[in-house]
Amino acid sequence: ADEVTTVSIDNYTGMEALCNHLIEDHGVKDVVYIAGPKENADSNARMEVVKKTLEAHGSSFSEKNVFYGNWEGLHIKKYLIECYGDKKAKLPDAFICANDQMAMFVILFLGQLGYKIPDDIIVTGFDNLSDGKVCYPSLATVDQRYREQGVESAKLAVELSKDKKL
């Protein structure tokens, strides 16, 4: 078989650090994970870390703690209105989102429903996109270090091209 060389996202380390911070520093126990599509590998890997970390700290996590947002803002808006629009349902301690775009949708739509972030609930993302810095409130997120990944990818490509004499 041909060898494959990759530079990839470390879904585990960043998400574990995020979850430990939420649990240990903010007392988070009840989480809703806003996932991408059910078949998305990165979203699922991040969800597994959330589950393992919560369970390691004595909190439960099951399918009821997951909403598949499918990267779609209107889908997320409908979910939030149905579940939390009447303000009778208890909010979780945090929404942990599989990416920054969905986290920004959650912040926007919860704000439209009258919730204050982070006073009423914590919302986090995963990507560290520049848009998260300018939304209000600014987004708590996991930095994937895209620039460093790009540099490492370029170095790797140069080394591989030397080895293969392309």
Read off the amino acid at residue 23: I
Q: What is the mean pLDDT of the chain?
A: 87
Whether 74 has a pLDDT exceeding 90, the answer reads: yes
104-123 tens-digit pLDDT? 999 999 999 999 999 999 99
pLDDT digit string, tens, across residues 82-105: 999 988 889 999 999 999 999 999
Cα–Cα dist 107/48, whole Å: 23
Sign of CA dihedral 87, 118, 19, 133: positive
CB-count exposure of residue 142 (10 Å: 0-12, 13-18, 19+): buried
Q: How confident is the model at residue 10 (pLDDT cuts 50, 70, 90)?
A: confident
Q: Of residues 132 and 161, which shows the higher confidence score? A: 161
User: Do 125 and 141 meet the contact criterion of CB atoms below 8 Å apart?
Assistant: yes
User: What is the pTM assigned to this prediction?
Assistant: 0.84
pLDDT at 155: 74
Six token digits for residue 159: 């080394």
Tens digits of residue pLDDT in 19-38: 999 999 999 999 999 999 99
Q: What is the pLDDT of residue 140?
A: 79
For residue 30, the model assigns a pLDDT of: 97
Residue 136's pLDDT is 78
Q: How confident is the model at residue 153 (pLDDT cuts 50, 70, 90)?
A: low
pLDDT exceeds 60 at position 1: no
